[in-house]
Amino acid sequence: MRDLFDKIYKDKGPLGKWAAHAEGYFVFPKLEGEISNRMKFQGKDVITWSINDYLGLANHPEVRKVDAEAAAQYGSAYPMGARMMSGHTELHEQLQNELAEFVSKESAYLLNFGYQGIMSTIDALVGKDDVIVYDVDTHACIIDGVRLHPGKRFTYMHNDIESLEKNLQRATKMAETTGGGILVISEGVFGMRGEQGRLKEIVALKQKYNFRFLVDDAHGFGTLGKTGAGAGEEQGVQDDIDVYFATFAKSLASTGAFIAGDKEIVDYLKYNLRSQMFAKSLQMQLVVGALKRLDMLRSMPELKNKLWENTNALQSGLKSRGFDIGTTQSCVTPVYLNGSIPEAMALVKDLRENHGIFCSIVVYPVIPKGLILLRLIPTATHTLEDVELTLNAFEAIRERLENGTYKRMSASIMAAMGE
């Protein structure tokens, strides 16, 4: 028998093995200063493209004021206990009612964190006889939620309706033998590549198959749809989404999340979401802060308009300069380049040190080997000047990638790694 930790001493994992070269810079970087389009990284000014503060609410003076006042009034403890036992308040209920109305659902329920909340939602919705069918590219929290499921599950190829239909046929056969039902899960916007889930085509399959539909709209909420109610509103199918989920961690620039749907379903979830029933209630500062943010989201369409002005300028600028931005249909802006992980490191260093551009970098194993994904998240706080500077910087780094500069620079990293 081996010591449990033996494998950890030997193998740090596909990302962990780069830690000595990456930590503090490429991963776990420390961005400093007020949250905005311009922040500081290692003492230098950078244009930040890596923060999901889509509407620019994080540091809005009115939001900061309400957050501060709520902290002064309630402290960070109130209310103590789980919602069910002692952590329930009028304001929690008010926020739920306002959220439900905003996303055109009968009822909503707050979640302390999106991640655990959606895991528990999946856990509560399905039992051992039920079958889950989900997009293979969904967020880790959905995959972890599915892991809790004791019954059968099938993935369908990313946004591939034919593959979904094939798997719905398999799931239907399976559910007919077990006597269970089917849960289909998609994202409203896939956060890595920016594509919208094909919600319209998925709900059309309800004509042929019997299933319920859960949508994680973390990136769609606040950014898509006429009123900002998300991908369901954008595609005109909000009514056909049975359980709608969004987090406060992106457009609302806070912590917390919610699910929404028919009252009877939400009432059931309220009594069966283990990560909420056995965890402390969302603290008051976050509840009051979310009410304020939701109010601004509803009453200040100019924030979403500015977000899209920046998004369109960035995406059309990249495309017209010949960059591959994939098939994004949202504000999430991926830029795909070809190169190794050490080349990606040299490139990102150049972007940050010499061009003052801070964006996230995604490499294998999150995306296929040999690809580099630079992910840009526009916000309402960016300016068209930020976009222009960024486009120029991207042209410069592409040239250096193609003429082998980063390959030469990365040789030392490779040598140190013994690769």
Ligand X SMILES: Cc1ncc(COP(=O)(O)O)c(C=O)c1O
Residues within the interface to ligand X (CB under 6 A)? 113-115, 118, 139, 141, 187, 191, 216, 218, 247, 249, 257
CB of 53 to ligand X, least distance (A): 12
Collapse the DSSP code of 372 into the 3-class scheme (helix H, G, I; strand E, B; otherwise coil) and give the result. strand
CB of 374 to ligand X, least distance (A): 18
263-270 helix and 114-125 helix, angle to the nearest 10 degrees: 110
In whole angstroms, what is the distance from residue 193 CA to residue 143 CA? 17
Collapse the DSSP code of 333 into the 3-class scheme (helix H, G, I; strand E, B; otherwise coil) and give the result. strand
Nearer to ligand X, 115 or 406 (CB): 115
Strands 107-111 and 38-41: unpaired
Residue 257, both tokens = 């999340």
Residue 220, both tokens = 């769609």
CB of 122 to ligand X, least distance (A): 12
Nearer to ligand X, 216 or 350 (CB): 216
Is residue 329 within 8 Å of 110, Cβ to Cβ? no
Nearer to ligand X, 37 or 52 (CB): 52
CB of 170 to ligand X, least distance (A): 26
Nearer to ligand X, 231 or 401 (CB): 231
First to last CA, the chain: 31
Nearer to ligand X, 180 or 188 (CB): 188
Residues 6+ apart with CB under 8 A from 345: 21, 22, 26, 410, 413
In whole angstroms, what is the distance from residue 311 CA to residue 166 CA? 36
Nearer to ligand X, 130 or 135 (CB): 135
CB of 367 to ligand X, least distance (A): 16
CB of 116 to ligand X, least distance (A): 7
| Helices (H) then strands (E): counts for the chain | 16, 14
